């Protein structure tokens, strides 16, 4: 199950990159960041995602940061 979840996260990050986002960032986290910056598309998509799961974009941003910390630790041994 963890393997499938990781594959889906990787696919999400790939799609986000194809759409002009930062590599390693999920679409949900990008929506949350865009909403915080006041972008209409970000507020719209964040509202939809947050209705599907409360605080979805906030949780996505948190999990993206945690994954980035894990990658940095694995690559350098530092946090």
For the chain, the domain total comes to 1
State residue 77's pLDDT score. 79
CA distances from 50 to 3, 19, 31, 42, 45 (A): 25, 21, 11, 12, 8
Identify whether the C-beta of residue 60 lies closer than 8 Å to the C-beta of residue 48: no
Q: Residue 22: count other Cβ atoms within 10 Å of its Cβ.
A: 13
Higher pLDDT, 79 or 77: 77
Q: Structural domain of residue 49, as residue ranges? A: 2-76
Which tens digit of pLDDT belongs to each residue from 36-75?
999 999 999 999 999 999 999 999 999 999 999 998 999 9
User: For residue range 13-31, what is the model confidence (pLDDT) as tens digits?
Assistant: 999 999 999 999 999 999 9
Residue 79, pLDDT score: 57
């Amino acid at each position: 199950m963890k393997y499938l979840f990781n594959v889906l996260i990787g696919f999400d990050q790939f799609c986000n990159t194809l759409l002009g986002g930062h590599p390693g960032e999920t679409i949900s986290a990008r929506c949350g960041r865009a909403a915080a910056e006041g972008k209409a598309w970000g507020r719209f998509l964040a509202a939809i995602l947050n209705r599907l799961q409360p605080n979805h974009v906030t949780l996505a941003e948190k999990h993206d940061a945690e994954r980035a910390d894990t990658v940095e630790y694995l690559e350098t041994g530092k946090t």
